[in-house]
Amino acid sequence: MNVVPNSRPAIGVYMPFFSLNRGGPDVTAMWLIQCLCSIYRVTLVTTRQFNLSEFNRFAGTTLTDEDFSIRILPTIPTPSGLPMSALQGPLFQRFARRCAREFDVCISAMNLLDFGVRGIQFLADLNWLETPRNSLSEAASPDHSRGRSLRGIYRRLGSLLCDRSGRDQLHDDLLVSNSDWVARVLVGEGVNSPVIYPPVPVRKNLSNWEERRPDFVWIGRIAPSKRLESAIDIVSRIRAAGGNCKLHIVGNAIDKEYEASIRNRVQAAGDWVVLDGPKYGEEKTEYLARFQYALHTRADEPFGISVAELVKSGCIVFGPDAAGSAEILNHKDLLFKSEDEAVEKIAKLIGDPKKVSQMRRHLSARAARFSLDRFQSSVFRLIENYLKEARSPIHHSLAASPLVQLSPQRIENPLPGFTSK
């Protein structure tokens, strides 16, 4: 595109806290910048926690300081472990509005941010949808204990710091879902949201199947919500039934108490459970390609970028029959509602070479949905349509974007789980 640099539309990509607790939103933010800076003037609006070289390594991007600008917003200098650090979000929200009008397009890479003007919100989960309802129900049933009062003061302080504009973001902003499942939940709220799957930088791996270890690999943040102990239990029961396999755990721990409990479980299990620590970029790609099988054990992932990474690495992946993992894997033989069902299905599949070949073909086809090219083309189309609408005297809703067509159904139980036994 031959354009004069200063004539290029300005885009602000807002990502409040890049940190060690890395996940899908961080990858999305980095690839949004890398995709958009080739055409637009891009500014990352963030905090002093951002480190470009670390996040290039984590996300697989190749950004340089010359590719985009960075706007650092003020933060409260408190340790991340203290409760008061949660005020950082409202403070970021407050200052984010002050620079929003400098951009032609404002994009939040992680859920809703009130820009004070219309913006694009890339959704990472649905926690933001439930928070207002929970606050209302708590207000309706006051508890006068000291702890409840302090929490009430804390919430009010956060609300004051936010300095919200009063806009109806749910219906006035463009909400971009990270899965069909999230988009269908929003249909029940009266919102038609286009779907763009998060970018999965792991390249499709075609390594020889027979050269891979017949073991299981688990990747993700080592945190209670990921239910890593369930993965250990499942593989333990497969081994007890005669399976000759190990479990390799790849990830970084933020919750030190939970990490200690997992280390105790690993020590008690023996050498068939291996803690391999975090891996990034090409190292992670090459490592995952060593294994034939993989496990995912969090049931309420709106998308689950680790599931897609495992699929693209060529593993046969088993996961909960719920939310994002069910959408990515999309086959009854790979999905389970309980540990009992997981053990039964896994043992049956890995003992059947014909079924193994069938699942490999199925997942290879699924992997194409999570390519970087697909993410980039979808983002370009989204921004192009958004800018055209902004320039038009007659504004047409982008909710009918051809990125996704969804039936108007409501999901009554948007976050199903699975039982441990």
For residue 333, give the CATH number of its domain.
3.40.50.2000
Strands (E), 21-100: 41-46, 69-72
Task: Express each pLDDT in 317-358 by its tens digit.
Answer: 999 999 899 999 999 999 999 999 999 999 999 999 999 999
Residue 410 domain-assigned (yes or no): no
Residue 405 domain-assigned (yes or no): no
**416 pLDDT above the threshold of 60:** no
Task: Express each pLDDT in 133-176 by its tens digit.
Answer: 333 233 333 343 444 454 555 455 555 556 677 788 888 999 99
3-state secondary structure 88-146: HHHHHHHHHHHHHHHCCEEEECCCCCCCCCCCEEECCCCHHHHHHHHHHHHHHCCCCCH
Domain co-membership, 236 together with 173: no
Quote the distance between the C-alpha of residue 371 and its chain's center. 15
8 A C-beta contact, residue 159 and residue 90: yes
Domain co-membership, 167 together with 70: yes
Domain co-membership, 150 together with 222: no
At residue 380, the pLDDT reads 96
Residue 186 domain-assigned (yes or no): yes
Residue 418 domain-assigned (yes or no): no
8 A C-beta contact, residue 76 and residue 87: yes
**421 pLDDT above the threshold of 60:** no
Least confident stretch, 92-106, 313-327, 370-384:
92-106
CA distance 133 to 136: 5
Instruction: Record the tokens describing residue 262, joined without a space.
Output: 């997992």
Task: Express each pLDDT in 200-228 by its tens digit.
Answer: 887 766 678 999 999 999 999 899 999 99
The C-alpha angle with vertex 107 and arms to 3 and 305, in degrees rounded to 5, equals 110
8 A C-beta contact, residue 40 and residue 50: no
Query: How many other CB atoms sit within 10 Å of the CB of residue 125?
Result: 21
Instruction: Record the tokens describing residue 389, joined without a space.
Output: 């609408």
Instruction: Record the tokens describing residue 20, joined without a space.
Output: 């060690």
**122 pLDDT above the threshold of 90:** yes
Domain co-membership, 135 together with 175: yes
Paired strand residues for 121? 108, 175
**14 pLDDT above the threshold of 90:** yes
Residue (of 247, 291, 294, 237) closest to 273 by Cα position: 247
Paired strand residues for 295? 318
Residue 421 domain-assigned (yes or no): no
Domain co-membership, 349 together with 245: yes
Domain co-membership, 61 together with 100: yes
Domain co-membership, 14 together with 96: yes
Sign of the dihedral through C-alpha 226, 232, 234, 238: positive
Sheet holding 316-320, edge to edge: 273-277, 247-250, 213-219, 291-295, 316-320, 335-336
At residue 389, the pLDDT reads 87
The C-alpha angle with vertex 107 and arms to 193 and 33, in degrees rounded to 5, equals 115
Q: How many CA atoms lie within 13 A of 356 on its CB side?
A: 14
- Spatial neighbors of 104 by CB under 8 A, at least 6 apart, are 9, 10, 11, 387, 390
Residue 413 domain-assigned (yes or no): no
8 A C-beta contact, residue 266 and residue 383: no
Calculate Rg over the CA atoms of the chain.
22
Domain co-membership, 339 together with 382: no
Given 369, 389, 408, the domain boundary residue is 369
Domain co-membership, 114 together with 14: yes
Q: Mean of the per-residue pLDDT values for the chain?
A: 82
CA distance 27 to 38: 18
CA distance 21 to 344: 33
Task: Express each pLDDT in 266-317 by its tens digit.
Answer: 999 999 999 999 998 888 889 999 999 999 999 988 998 999 999 999 999 9
SS3 of residue 192 by DSSP: coil
Domain co-membership, 192 together with 235: no
Residue 300 CB burial class (10 angstroms; 0-12, 13-18, ≥19): buried
Residue (of 41, 82, 37, 39) closest to 61 by Cα position: 37
Q: Please report, for residues 308, 314, 389, the alpha-carbon distance to residue 204 in angstroms, rounded to integers and kept in the order given.
A: 11, 7, 36
Residue 229 domain-assigned (yes or no): yes
Residue (of 26, 35, 32, 37) closest to 67 by Cα position: 37
H-assigned helices in 289-338: 305-312, 323-329
Structurally, the chain folds into a number of domains equal to 2
Q: How many CA atoms lie within 13 A of 226 on its CB side?
A: 27
At residue 157, the pLDDT reads 54
Structural domain range at position 285: 209-369
Q: Give helix 339-350 / helix 353-367 axis angle, nearest 10°.
A: 110
Domain co-membership, 150 together with 246: no
Residue 420 domain-assigned (yes or no): no
SS3 of residue 293 by DSSP: strand
Domain co-membership, 238 together with 192: no
